[in-house]
Structure 1
Amino acid sequence: MSTFAKVVCCLVLVLGVANGQGLKVGFYERTCPNAEAIVNEVMTTVFKEALSLSGPLLRMHFHDCFVRGCEGSILLNSSTHTAEKDSPPNLSLRGYQVIDRVKAALEKKCPGIVSCADILAIVARDSVVATGGKFYNVETGRRDGNVSSLSETLTNLLPPTANITTLIAGFSAKGLNVIDLVVLSGGHTIGTSHCSSFSNRLYNFTGKNDADPSMDPKYVKELKKRCKINDQTTLVEMDPGSDRKFDVDYFTLVTKRRGLFTSDQALLKNTVTSAYLTAQSNNGGSTFGHDFGVSMVKMGRIGVITGSAGQIRKFCYKNN
C-alpha cells in the first residue's frame, strides 16, 4: 500500500470513530428505507393529539444517553422496579406508549431492523420540529442494550440543583463541552416540571425561610402561587408562555434571572455559557436552531452500541 493510501485509510478510520462509532445518516437506507417517514407519520398523529408530549420525549432521549449511553435502556421495564425508568429523576418522563406505538409500526413494515435507541433519537428530533425547531439529520445505526439499572441514574443524571462546576464536569465526562451544555439546556424551552424539582429555591433556601436570592423576586412570588410547600404533583412550564414552542425565550428568561432550576441559573456563572445566553437572547436566537441540532447529534453518539453487539428489540420495553 502506498504512503498516500495509508494516510487516506487512517483518515477514514479516524473519521469513522469520530462519527459515532459506526453511526451514519441514512443507516436504514437499504434495510428499511422509509424508517424515518414511518416514525414521522406516527408522531404527526401523536402531536396533533398531545403536543405536550414533545418535551418529555425530548428529555427521554437525553436521559437515555446519559446513563449507559444511547442504547435504549431507559425503555426497559423491571418486575422489581429497579430499572432506569423507576428512578426518581425519571418518574416525570411520559410518552413510553408513544415509543411502543412507533416500534409497532416499524415492526410491521421492517421487522427486526430498527432499534429502540434509534427510535428515541428520531422521535426527539421530530419533537423539536413539531414545536417549531429546526430540522437536523439524525445519525442512526445504534443497537439496543439489555441492562437497565436504577442506581446508575443517580450517579449519571445531573440534578436540577446542580451548580455550574457539577454541570461542566458531568457533560465533560460524556464528551460534551460547555457550549453543548448551554445549547442542550435550551431544550428547556419546551415542556414542564414538577414543583418538587425547584421548590427548594422558593422555600427555606438557606434555612432562614428565604428564597434563592439569585432568582427574580417577582418570579418567586409567581411560582409560590402555583407551588405550595411539599407540592409533588403540580406541573409548571419551564418556559412560561411558550412551553410548546421551540424558541429562544428560555435564554431570555435565564438572563433575567427567571430560570426555573438552579442548573438553569448556573449558566450565568460561566463566561462562555453566559455569553452564549446573552448573544442568543439579543439576536433572536439566530444560531440556536442550528447549534441545537449539532449538539443533539453529538450527544446521540454517547456510548452507542453498534455492529453485532447488543440486540434489536422486538418490543422496546423488554429484551428479546
Structure 2
Amino acid sequence: MAMATSACQALLLFMAFAAAVLMSTASGTLQYNFYSSTCPNAEQAVRDATTMIISDDPTMGAALVRLFFHDCFVRGCDASILLDQSNSNPQPEKLAIPLRGYSAVDAIKAAVEAVCPGVVSCADILAYAARDSAMVSGGFSFPMPGGRRDGAASNLTDIFGSLPAPNMQVQALVQSFANKGLSAGDLVALSGAHSFGVTHCSFVTPRLYPAADPTLNATYAAALEQACPQGGAGGTVLNNNNFSDPNRLSNQYYRNLAAGEVLFTSDQTLTTDATTNKMAQDNAADPVGWMARFAGSMVKMGGIQVLTGHQGEIRRVCSATNSGS
C-alpha cells in the first residue's frame, strides 16, 4: 500500500512538473526554478513561512489560495490584489471584496526579503504560497514556475466582469474561465478549492430565501438556514466540508456536490452539464487524479497575463509600489 501511494505521488509530481515546463517553453515567460541563481533559497523561505502560518492558523491555507485566484483573474498574476490605497491607486481591488491573508503575505515577503532583498516579486511569492498551501492543507505538492513581476496599478472596477460570481450558471462559468485561457476542466478542477475556507451568509442566502433551492439537500438546507437566518446580520459560515474538515483541501467537495451539499449556485450548476458533471464524478472517484488536475490548473492559472522581463517591478513591500505613490 505504501509503495502504491508513493507511486501515485510520483505520478502526480511528474504530471505537474510537465505542466510547469510546458508553460515555460511554450510561453517563453515563466520558468521552473526561476530563482536558482539569484536567490536559491527563495522557494524554501516561502515554504517555511507558509507552513508556519498555516500551522498557527489552519484557515490561512484557503485564504492564500483564494488571494492567488483573485489576483490572477483580475489584471493577471501581478500582485495587484495586494496594493493598498494610494494617490495613484485611490480605489484598489482589495476595497471591493473582503479577503483574508494580506498580513500572511506580508510575513512571507519579509521572510524572503531577509534571505534575498529586492529579488523575488510579490506575484511569485503569492503563487508559491498558494502552491505550498496545497502542500500543507492538502498533502500534495507540485512545481510552480516563477518569473512574474509586480504591477503598479490596482482598480476595483477591474473586478467587475473579471471574476466568476457565486450565482453563475455553468455556461457563464465556462466562458469566464475561457476568457482567461482556462478550460472547463480547469474550472472543475479548481472548484475543488471550495473544499476548504469560509464564506459569508450573503453569498448563501439567495439559495435559501424566500424558498430553499430544490437542488439543495433538505437536511443541508435546514442547517444553512440555522447558520444564516432570513433577515440576519449575515455572519460567516464554514465551507462545503463542514461535516469533515473545513481546513482540508481535498476531493470531498465533489462527493458533496453529488449529494447537493454545496454552498453556491456556481458549485451545484457543475452537475447540470454532462461534460462538467462527468469531470466532477471523475474527481470524486479518483483523489490522486484530481490532485494532478488541480496542480496543473493552478500552474496554468498562474500564467494569466503575467508581467515578465523588464515589465513592472519587484516591490520592496507587497502593499505598495516602490514609488509609494
TM-score (norm 2): 0.88
Between 107-116 and 76-85, the greater mean CA deviation after superposition: 76-85
User: In the alignment, what sits opposite 2:215?
Assistant: 214
CA–CA distance in 2 between the matches of 1:33 and 1:239? 37
User: In the alignment, what sits opposite 1:36?
Assistant: 43
**Contact 1:188–1:250 under 8 Å retained in 2:** yes
Aligned residues between the structures: 297
**Contact 2:240–2:256 under 8 Å retained in 1:** no
Once the two structures are superposed, what CA deviation does each residue of 1:66-116 show, in whole Å capped at 9, x if it has no partner? 0000000000001486111111xx21x111011111111211221111000
Q: Secondary structure of 1:139's partner?
A: coil
User: In the alignment, what sits opposite 1:46?
Assistant: 53
Q: Secondary structure of 2:238's partner?
A: strand
CA–CA distance in 1 between the matches of 2:108 and 2:241? 28
Unaligned 5+ segments in structure 2 are: 1-21
Once the two structures are superposed, what CA deviation does each residue of 1:147-168 show, in whole Å capped at 9, x if it has no partner? 0010111221111111111101
1:315 partner letter: V
Q: Secondary structure of 2:161's partner?
A: helix
113 and 155 in structure 1: CA distance in 2 versus 1, 3 angstrom threshold: same
**Contact 2:24–2:32 under 8 Å retained in 1:** no
Once the two structures are superposed, what CA deviation does each residue of 1:259-295 show, in whole Å capped at 9, x if it has no partner? 21000001012212100111222x2423011111000
Please show how residues 1-320 of structure 1 align to structure 2 within 5 Å. 19-79=26-86, 82-87=91-96, 90-91=97-98, 93-204=99-210, 210-230=211-231, 231-240=233-242, 241-281=244-284, 283-320=285-322
CA apart distance, 1:234: 2.3
CA apart distance, 1:16: 7.1
Identity %: 39
1:122 partner letter: Y
CA apart distance, 1:257: 1.2
**Contact 1:226–1:236 under 8 Å retained in 2:** no
Q: Secondary structure of 2:199's partner?
A: strand
RMSD: 1.5
Q: Secondary structure of 1:31's partner?
A: coil
Unaligned 5+ segments in structure 1 are: 1-14, 205-209
Q: Secondary structure of 1:24's partner?
A: coil
Between 94-103 and 222-231, the greater mean CA deviation after superposition: 222-231
TM-score (norm 1): 0.89
**Contact 1:21–1:306 under 8 Å retained in 2:** no
**Contact 1:190–1:239 under 8 Å retained in 2:** yes
CA–CA distance in 2 between the matches of 1:24 and 1:70? 15
CA apart distance, 1:18: 6.0
17 and 279 in structure 1: CA distance in 2 versus 1, 3 angstrom threshold: closer
